């Protein structure tokens, strides 16, 4: 079955964790009294970049800015489809300055950048499926932002309500495997949203709470290879059984801030 899975080359935007730290608490994972090993974070992040490049993907980088410890989580900065950049307006005031630096990078690269009027956190809550956008709400991104994104991008946006504070972004509870399927943790969503996902993806790979707590759903797939947290062993086995190739990459130091592989990875389409 594995041979039938075809990887597609991707272009990723990342930000070096030079200034990474946990200096405030804006999700249940963050504890400022617990120190971060910046050297280890750097080493883990470099391993992720090498893994992407070893699998044929292109990686660009935004220069990190002192005083913005969460800037490493590039996925939250924007949502990009067809060369259009729907930027971010972060829920937490501490993170709002990050948007300016990412917008500047995209504009310098020639992209059309939209500054949203509603609170929205990029690929943290907006997930491209190849046909439409799955959009999370409940903790960060607002439903008004879903409507704003649809108007700017011109693609259908399907709203999903998150209910568990540990999975405060959609990308901690769901990721796209390929153009036809997804992997997600059902209990992270409201009953109605679970029904929507079941109708859209009747053959989805389902994850457990243990998988999700191990950051197994904060993964990146190129259609064949799935870059996944090593602790999510059961989920990796399940994915392998469906013909995908797990590529374990340890970003455990970033879990202290509630982030992982996908959080560190912005995809440019």
Active-site residue, from 91, 146, 169, 255: 169
What is this structure's pTM?
0.97
Q: Is the pLDDT of residue 142 over 50?
A: yes
Q: CATH code at 134?
A: 3.75.10.10
Interatomic CA distance for residues 170 and 255, integer angstroms: 16
| CA distances from residue 211 to 177, 188, 197, 230 in whole angstroms, order as listed | 16, 12, 18, 10
Domain with 109, as residue range(s), is: 11-268
Q: Would residue 107 count as lying in a domain?
A: yes
Interatomic CA distance for residues 137 and 159, integer angstroms: 7
Q: Would residue 136 count as lying in a domain?
A: yes
CB 51 within 8 A of CB 246: no
How many residues appear in the chain?
269
Active-site residue, from 91, 146, 255, 263: 263
Q: Would residue 224 count as lying in a domain?
A: yes
CB 90 within 8 A of CB 50: no
| CA distances from residue 259 to 17, 91, 125 in whole angstroms, order as listed | 12, 16, 13
- The one-character DSSP state at 127 is E
Q: Would residue 5 count as lying in a domain?
A: no
CB 120 within 8 A of CB 94: no
User: Tens digits of per-residue pLDDT, 70-104?
Assistant: 999 999 999 999 999 999 999 999 999 999 999 99
Q: Would residue 48 count as lying in a domain?
A: yes
Q: Would residue 3 count as lying in a domain?
A: no
User: Tens digits of per-residue pLDDT, 240-258?
Assistant: 999 999 999 999 999 999 9
Q: Is the pLDDT of residue 1 over 90?
A: no
Catalytic residue status for 264: no
How do beta strands 84-87 and 112-114 pair?
parallel
Q: Would residue 2 count as lying in a domain?
A: no
Q: What is the 3-state secondary structure (H, E, C) of 129-172?
A: CCCCEEEEECCCCCHHHHHHHHHHHCCCEEEEEECCHHHCCHHH
| CA distances from residue 154 to 14, 50, 74, 110, 149 in whole angstroms, order as listed | 26, 34, 23, 20, 8
Average pLDDT (124-148) is 98
Q: Would residue 6 count as lying in a domain?
A: no
Catalytic residue status for 169: yes
Q: What is the 3-state secondary structure (H, E, C) of 213-260?
A: HCCCCCCEECCCEEEECCCCHHHHHHHHHCCCEEEECCCHHHHCCCCC
Q: Work out the pLDDT band at 4, boundaries 50, 70, 90.
A: confident
Average pLDDT (135-143) is 98
Average pLDDT (42-68) is 98
Q: Give the per-residue pLDDT at 3.
A: 54
Q: Strand, helix or coil at 20? A: coil
Domains in the chain, number: 1
Average pLDDT (192-217) is 98
Q: Which of 12, 40, 16 is nearest to 256 (CA)?
A: 40
């Amino acid at each position: 079955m594995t041979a039938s899975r075809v990887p597609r080359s991707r272009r990723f935007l990342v930000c070096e964790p030079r200034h990474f730290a946990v200096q405030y608490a804006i999700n249940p994972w963050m504890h400022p009294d617990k120190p971060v090993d910046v050297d280890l974070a750097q080493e883990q992040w470099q391993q992720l970049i090498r893994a992407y490049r070893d699998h044929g993907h292109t990686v660009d980088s935004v220069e990190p800015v002192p005083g913005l410890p969460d800037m490493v989580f590039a996925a939250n900065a924007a949502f990009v489809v067809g060369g259009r950049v729907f930027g971010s307006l972060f829920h937490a005031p501490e993170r709002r300055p990050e948007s300016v630096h990412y917008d500047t990078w995209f504009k310098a690269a020639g992209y059309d950048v939209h500054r949203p009027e509603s609170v929205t956190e990029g690929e943290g809550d907006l997930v491209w499926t190849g046909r439409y956008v799955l959009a999370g709400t409940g903790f960060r991104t607002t439903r008004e932002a879903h409507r704003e994104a649809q108007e700017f991008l011109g693609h259908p946006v399907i709203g999903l309500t998150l209910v568990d504070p540990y999975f405060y972004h959609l990308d901690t509870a769901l990721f796209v495997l390929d153009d036809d399927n997804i992997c997600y943790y059902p209990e992270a969503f409201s009953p109605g949203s679970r029904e929507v996902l079941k109708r859209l993806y009747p053959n989805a790979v389902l994850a457990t709470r243990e998988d999700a707590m191990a950051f197994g759903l904060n993964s990146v797939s190129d259609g064949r290879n799935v870059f996944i947290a090593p602790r999510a062993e059961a989920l990796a086995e399940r994915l392998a059984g469906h013909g995908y190739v797990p590529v374990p990459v340890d970003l455990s130091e970033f879990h202290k801030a509630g982030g992982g592989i996908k959080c560190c990875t912005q995809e440019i389409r």
